[in-house]
Amino acid sequence: MTPIINDIEEMRRLGESVRRKGQAICLVPTMGALHDGHLSLVDIARGKADFVVVSIFVNPTQFGPGEDFEKYPRTLEEDARKLESHGVSVIFSPAASMMYPAGYATYVSVEGLTSGLCGRSRPTHFRGVTTVVTKFFTIVRPDYAVFGRKDAQQLAVIRRMNRDLNLGVDIIAAPIVREKDGLAMSSRNRYLNADERAQAPVIHRSLLDARARVENGESNARTIAASVRSNIGTSPLAAIDYIEIVDPEEMTPVSNVSKGALLAVAVRFGNTRLIDNIMLGSDTL
């Protein structure tokens, strides 16, 4: 069984002893309820470092009021079993009361690129993410940390924070892992009922259609976004939160995609909000 550390000081001491031995540390931050997307990040981490730490922490500060913090799936034992065959050195799973004890008052926030896209409907979300990731970086002091492109805005925000605060962690971006029908894997997919699950692949199909339009010469962002809107609109259960075509580093809208742009969407099916994205006019993010 992969060892689980709950105590912050124990994790810090273990990290120090690993570093003293000259081994590199790679951190994979997660909220648990692990799926093959998470496991692909772990495999990338294994390729980078001898010592892999997977954090499993449902971080209260990144959930807004009325969001799914209470009902977010917590499946630590099952997660530990899934990680068993993936060469993870340790799972770090602190209690929320240890990460945020009474009197906790310090937050890290990245300005600008957190205000659009997911930041519009989740105004305190990224502040929670950057705060907890800073704390994990400080406790574990990893050489590398792996983040999925599934959360493209989060990846851009973490990269900016790492640069701005000179944290010195090598941030590795991992490709999006999908179900066979194209739906991006997510711990929240388990909230979908059968009808919603059947319709959810419309998201990825609409992204692929947009990419095909760009490959056929379309470069006007407004035209592309309108086509995505009408494609997703064919699914009666889908409610669009946003469809944005942005610069992949700044998260600011672009009007023309020919130099490479990120098409990012958030769509609700019932109470479940799903996000996905694709690069247009370029392969990398």
C-beta separation of 11 from 92 below 8 A: yes
Pick between residue 30 and residue 162 the one whose CB is nearest to ligand AMP: 30
Shortest approach of ligand AMP to residue 185 CB, angstroms? 4
**Is there binding between residue 8 and ligand AMP (CB under 6 A)?**
no
Q: With DSSP H G I counted as helix, E B as strand and the rest as coil, what are the percentages for the chain, rounded to 5?
A: 40, 20, 40
132 binds ligand AMP (CB under 6 A): no
- Identify whether 86 is a catalytic site residue: no
Please identify, using beta-carbon distances, which residue of 169 and 221 lies nearer to ligand AMP: 169
Distance of CA 173 to the CA centre of its chain: 10
Q: Residue from 39, 139, 169, 184 that binds ligand AMP (CB under 6 A)?
A: 184
Q: Does 185 bind ligand AMP (CB under 6 A)?
A: yes
H helix runs in 64-151, sequence order: 76-83, 96-99, 118-121, 125-140
Q: Which of the following is catalytic: 35, 38, 125, 204? A: 38
Give whichever of 144 and 224 is closer to ligand AMP, judged by the CB atom: 144
Helix (H) or strand (E) holding 25: strand 25-30
Least separation in angstroms between residue 218's CB and ligand AMP is 27
105 vs 82: CA distance, rounded Å = 35
Subset of 143-182 contacting ligand AMP (CB under 6 A): 147-148, 150-151, 174, 176-177
- Measured from the CB atom, the residue of 192 and 224 that comes closer to ligand AMP is 192
Nearest to 219 by CA among 254, 192, 264, 267: 254
Per-residue binding string, ligand AMP, 78-107, x by CB under 6 A, is ------------------------------
CA–CA dist 129, 50 (Å, integer) = 26
Q: Tell me the site size for ligand AMP, rule CB under 6 A.
A: 16
Residues 6+ apart with CB under 8 A from 270: 191, 192, 193, 196, 237
By CB under 6 A, is residue 267 in contact with ligand AMP? no
For 103: left if phi > 0, alpha if psi spans -120 to 50, otherwise beta; the answer is left
Residues that bind ligand AMP (CB under 6 A): 30-31, 37-38, 41, 147-148, 150-151, 174, 176-177, 184-187
Catalytic residues: 38
